[in-house]
Amino acid sequence: MASRVIPVEPFDLVLFGATGDLAHRKILPGLFHRLAVGQIPEGSRIIGCARSEMDADAFRASVAESLRHETRGKDADLDKFLSLLDYVSVDATGERGWKELAERLRADVVRAFYLSVGPSLFAPIAARLDQHGMATPNSRIVVEKPFGHDLASARELNRELRNCFAEDQIYRIDHYLGKETVQNVMALRFANALFEPLWNCQHIDHVQITVAEKLGIEGRGDYYDRAGAARDMLQNHLMQLLCLTAMEPPSRFEANAVRDEKLKVIRALDPVPPQDIVRGQYRASAHSKSYVQEAGNPDSTTESFIAMKLHVSNWRWGGTPFYLRTGKRLRERLSEIVIIFRDPPHSIFPRMDHRRGNALIIRLQPDEGVTLRMTIKEPGPGGMRLTEVPLDMTFAEALGADVEIPDAYERLVMDVIRGDQTLFMRGDEVEAAWEWIDPIIARWQESGDRPAPYDPGSSGPEDALMLMHRDGRRWREIGS
């Protein structure tokens, strides 16, 4: 089944940080793929901006080099793509380049300013765009994470951006929302009548959300040591997964209707007591350095793993806990949402020693798909023995081999051009998430507690297992 492609209108996309890693690894390849499938029409332009002085040809050559793996056998598409590219050298905090950039933009097409730069440059760039008359009603501004490092800084950033752009022109990226399977959580829940009647505390025992990574902090020590898993993953990506799982059905699939419901979830979160949070930090192994070695900070108390139990205090979820965990250098790369249904209320089978409830496992990555754990009769004579089997659907198999699951950035950049904010975080949502997490982080800072050590390739610290065991539950394994 080939996916349908609806072309967007021609646009001007200005990519700040155009020589950077994210631009070359994700954004430009994403745009190339969209052009190759016919979604980006002729007459569109992508203007790279960065501090480096170079001409458009040198920029095109550097992009061609970064794209060489994607473009093999697609020379005609590559030529078309390169012909859309232009370059202006801009000093984000100075005067150089702004006038020239303003002159290149067209008045009659959508213009998107994509800020693939460090967060300290978000506000200065927005202000310069405004000063030079570029923040027009047909323009949009896209900012990457991190959006602030606490409530106060997020508020300040929102204020600075809104001085130049209206809220409906601001696109705050959480790339998890661009993942196909994350959007599938909404499709599963709201496009099927099967699950929703059961999607509440009466039928669901608990929910587990895991985002496990195999890699360590990979040369990002400077940033990561100031962020930790709480700021880097929990406040944004896991919070978004939690919201999509727990939210009420919006009245329609439209940006503010969806975001209103997500906001209500964040506002319904109870404060988390210290005993319901486990922080971890990976040790060294024979093959890999420890967290503190990688971070270059021997005294670091930053967590590379976090697990917590939390409650969404509302009518739907009263008494059903959500267990969240995320960490680096774990056994496998695996992201999944697991809905554990309650056990059957009564067993009619005498030898049914375990009455395990059904489970719905939504695999976000890798092997995107859905599994429903069922209990059936074990084949064979000699009485009624039961066993568990998965009702398994891997999307790639179910949809056919020619369906490609596009990278999150492809979807998100096209949504910006189309003007659809559904998969972007609204300012109040980001602030609410900080408001919830700030006291948790402040408590760690006051106590100075060290995170529990864990072995690389494990499932995190022992205490994380205990968080579940003490409630008579257990995590699904991370990998086999």
Q: Binding residues for ligand BG6, per CB under 6 A?
A: 145, 213, 232
What span, in angstroms and rounded, lies between the C-alpha atoms of 170 and 142?
6
Residue 97 or 327 having the CB closest to ligand BG6: 327
Q: Smallest distance, Å, CB 145 to ligand BG6?
A: 6
Q: How are beta strands 334-341 and 359-365 bridged, if at all? A: antiparallel
CB 39 within 8 Å of CB 414: yes
Cross-strand pairs, 307: 278, 325
Residue 59 or 409 having the CB closest to ligand BG6: 409
Residue 98 or 147 having the CB closest to ligand BG6: 147
Q: Smallest distance, Å, CB 289 to ligand BG6?
A: 17
User: Within its chain, how far is the Cα of 105 from the centroid?
Assistant: 31
Report CA torsion sign: 340, 345, 348, 353: positive
CB 81 within 8 Å of CB 31: yes
Nearest to 105 by CA among 142, 143, 80, 132: 132
Residue 145 or 262 having the CB closest to ligand BG6: 145
Q: Smallest distance, Å, CB 53 to ligand BG6?
A: 30
Residue 232 or 410 having the CB closest to ligand BG6: 232
Q: Smallest distance, Å, CB 260 to ligand BG6?
A: 25
CB 395 within 8 Å of CB 181: yes
Q: ω into residue 366 within 30 of 0, thus cis?
A: yes
CB 14 within 8 Å of CB 97: no
Residue 206 or 237 having the CB closest to ligand BG6: 237
Q: Tokens representing 2?
A: 């080939």
CB 146 within 8 Å of CB 117: no
What span, in angstroms and rounded, lies between the C-alpha atoms of 264 and 251?
14
- Choose the catalytic residue: 132, 203, 237, 469: 237
Q: Smallest distance, Å, CB 252 to ligand BG6?
A: 28
Residue 289 or 356 having the CB closest to ligand BG6: 289
Q: Smallest distance, Å, CB 299 to ligand BG6?
A: 22
Closest residue to ligand BG6 in the complex (CB): 232
- Strand order through the sheet with 322-327: 386-394, 369-377, 359-365, 334-341, 204-212, 322-327, 305-310, 277-282, 452-454
Residue 86 or 303 having the CB closest to ligand BG6: 303
User: Catalytic residue at 237?
Assistant: yes
Report CA torsion sign: 156, 92, 43, 35: negative
What span, in angstroms and rounded, lies between the C-alpha atoms of 188 and 194?
9
* CA-based R_g, the chain, Å: 24
What span, in angstroms and rounded, lies between the C-alpha atoms of 223 and 207?
31
SS (H, E, C) 306-325: EEEEECECCCCCCCCCEEEE
Q: Smallest distance, Å, CB 232 to ligand BG6?
A: 5
Burial of 6 (0-12, 13-18, 19+ CB in 10 A): exposed
- Positions marked active-site: 237
